[in-house]
A and B are shown apart, each in its own frame.
Chain A
């Protein structure tokens, strides 16, 4: 057997199978919980998880990463299903797949570097907070329905999930929690919300869902409805997937093909939509669980999908009887595991602007319930802050000899620093000649060139002769026009003069 195939699929068959099993067990409650968030039947998210996990095992770029239907995507559905119906969600999922494949082909992975670490942190924290909010809603609902038994059940579930691993790590504690809570609730016939109250549960194998697709009007209007959703799906899906891939790269000290992963996510989402499932992406929590359980190969991902399917087929009657309280407990632990707890310490020690970017990302997401907008705001802010920082890297000195003053400019002149540049000249001084030495400065854009023009004009108006030194070198960095950025030695040329 070709050994590359072996190392990506079967580095350790036994461990991968076990890890896949553990992940599959963790996927059930989450997929159901996500269907609540998205406002669809549990079947939609459960089938999606099966199809996505199985597909991505073959076409993904990162082995041992777990992809399925996810909360991040489910949160973006909003009112789409409520207002327009499931068909629109399927169409949006397919369009998401197409967008992601295209992005994967045009090297989207390299764009990821514009998403800074603080935006990433903001993303996961916002995700965790949104999970918490949705669980809180479920609890409030239970309170309104006066299903008081829900609360002790949730507490019991949390206790089991948190405490059991201290006794044994041989069995998945969330699963034990679900089984125990279900048995208790059903034995005492407690009046609590159960999974079967949410909608249709899967009863058979996933099937090509033409019935739902038929309800989709193929008009431009449809496209305008689904496009914004698809774009959000694509951005969030890729962001979480590539971020998860990065985390797994670090865990296993290996590398992965991020563009292949992007295309793989696209293919998996198209497959999911054909089977009546929602789009999905990589799951940080599940992937961590997988690696923690020893999963390293693609086999673990495939196993998670197939075991999930088998579990659904074998236990579909029991799945319906799981009380929502058990799922709430699982999701609370997922939320805790997702949150980056180092944030609180870092807020104290890291630069203020970094913290502002993180907090703005979280705030926007919690406010809009849209991770994509939050990331957009975060990236924008970090760009502005960076521009601000770089604009301070400017030094202007001058020297008078006779009636000639020589200004020496150093640093980056661009839109953010053009004003500082213009203000540094003293036009009231009476001179016969002004020399502006810009050979150590870099003019990045038209704003900066315009500022220099203005300075020259003002001096001319005062009757001074103006000479500019090193203009060619300085403007060579207007990269848009001359494109030096992608030529070899561009950095040296830029820093030399």
Chain B
């Protein structure tokens, strides 16, 4: 039986993550595995600026740091347990397994990825501050390394009746189209297929091909190609059409380019207030 991997950290998104996971599990007839990663606080508080080395400097410092970590870890473990118990309650009625791992979330996900068919996580984690538009620190790293589709949960869950596909002709989005055609996740929902570019281009033809494929799979499709800035147009379109979900290929460009230009993917996840289904 396929499983959905849902990552929780007890943040405000927790409830919504469970609802999204339950929806996906219901559609795909899959079980849910809830993962909680106990991540280490990277810089524990330290107020010794004396710059002094005494007797046993090494051993003493090691002991001190171990003690600090130990205390942190014990609290984190208990808290994680409570979070997972809560998850089990919220997901009642589905096949649920819970698992707790030490280390970075992204590393833990890699471990369970091969046995899962889809990954659900929240737009923001507990560490992210809530200034508007700030994304969870883990999100980009996870999406970049994920080999399975990633569903990024929005703050509120809403049943998906209409969704938008941001089409750029790239291999990741074609993977998305293929997924929609073969998997029952979004069947019966209406689909808006949007590409940014000029009409009569290769992109337009590729768009038409994908639209046909989706229609063949039983979707009601409205395909459109529009000129302009991808970020603005797609987020406006999602709002106008009342889409409940955005589907897109993720992080098509190199890190260096994005470091300078910024990433369309990150920008869209941030500006669209709907869940986003990402394919790499």
Residue positions of A touching B, CB distance < 8 A: 1-4, 6-7, 11-12, 15, 18-19, 22-23, 25-26, 161-162, 164-165, 168-175, 247, 250-253, 284-285, 288-289, 291-294, 296, 333-334, 336-338, 340-342
Contacts and interface: CB of A to CB of B under 8 A. Distances in A.
B42 A293 contact: no
Contacts of A284: 58
B40 interface: yes
A240 to B, nearest CB: 14
Interface of B: 40, 42-59, 61-62, 65, 69, 137-138, 140-141, 255, 259
A453 B42 CA distance: 62
Contact of B49 (A3, A170, A296, A338): A170
B113 to A, nearest CB: 19
Given A252-B65, A294-B46, A341-B56, 11 more contacts: A2-B255, A3-B138, A12-B42, A19-B49, A26-B51, A165-B50, A169-B47, A170-B50, A285-B57, A292-B48, A333-B53
A3 B54 contact: no
Contacts of B49: 18-19, 22, 169-172, 293
A288 B57 CA distance: 8
A159 B137 CA distance: 47
B155 to A, nearest CB: 22
A45 B65 CA distance: 32
Contacts of B59: 342
A1 B259 contact: yes
Contacts of B46: 15, 292-294
A3 B141 contact: yes
A288 B59 CA distance: 10
Contacts of B47: 169-170, 294
A331 to B, nearest CB: 11
**In terms of DSSP, what is the predominant structure of the interface of chain A?**
helix
A162 B50 contact: no
The 8 A-B pairs of least Cβ separation, nearest first, read: A337-B53, A172-B51, A294-B46, A12-B43, A165-B50, A11-B42, A22-B51, A337-B57
B61 A288 contact: yes
Contact of A253 (B55, B57, B69, B137): B69
Contacts of B44: 294
A342 B56 CA distance: 8
A293 to B, nearest CB: 5
A291 B141 contact: no
Contact of B51 (A11, A173, A340): A173
B205 to A, nearest CB: 35
A161 B51 CA distance: 9
Contacts of B42: 7, 11-12, 296
B54 to A, nearest CB: 6
A170 B65 CA distance: 19
Contacts of A250: 62
Nearest to A15: B43
B52 A285 contact: no
Nearest to B48: A169
Contacts of A292: 46, 48, 57, 61
25 contacts: A3-B140, A7-B42, A12-B42, A18-B49, A164-B52, A165-B48, A165-B50, A165-B52, A169-B50, A172-B50, A172-B51, A251-B61, A253-B69, A285-B53, A285-B57, A291-B61, A292-B57, A293-B46, A293-B49, A294-B48, A296-B43, A336-B54, A337-B55, A341-B55, A341-B56
Contacts of B57: 285, 288, 292, 337
A333 B140 CA distance: 46
A4 B49 CA distance: 27
B169 to A, nearest CB: 26
B102 to A, nearest CB: 10
Given A3-B137, A11-B42, A341-B55, A171 B62 contact: no
A324 B137 CA distance: 50
Contacts of A285: 53, 57
A293 B48 contact: yes
Given A3-B137, A3-B141, A171 B50 contact: yes
B85 to A, nearest CB: 28
Contacts of A291: 61, 65
A19 B50 CA distance: 10
Contacts of B259: 1-2
Given A170-B49, A251-B61, A337 B141 contact: no
Contacts of A11: 42-43
B69 to A, nearest CB: 7
B61 A337 contact: no
Given A11-B42, A12-B43, A293 B53 contact: no
A156 to B, nearest CB: 16
A334 to B, nearest CB: 6
A7 B49 CA distance: 22
Contacts of B55: 336-337, 341
A497 B50 CA distance: 60
A334 B53 CA distance: 6
Nearest to A288: B57
Nearest to B51: A172
Given A2-B255, A291-B61, A293-B46, A253 B40 contact: yes
A162 B53 CA distance: 9
A170 B54 CA distance: 16
B160 to A, nearest CB: 30
A426 B111 CA distance: 60
A289 B51 CA distance: 5
A165 B54 CA distance: 10
Contacts of A19: 49
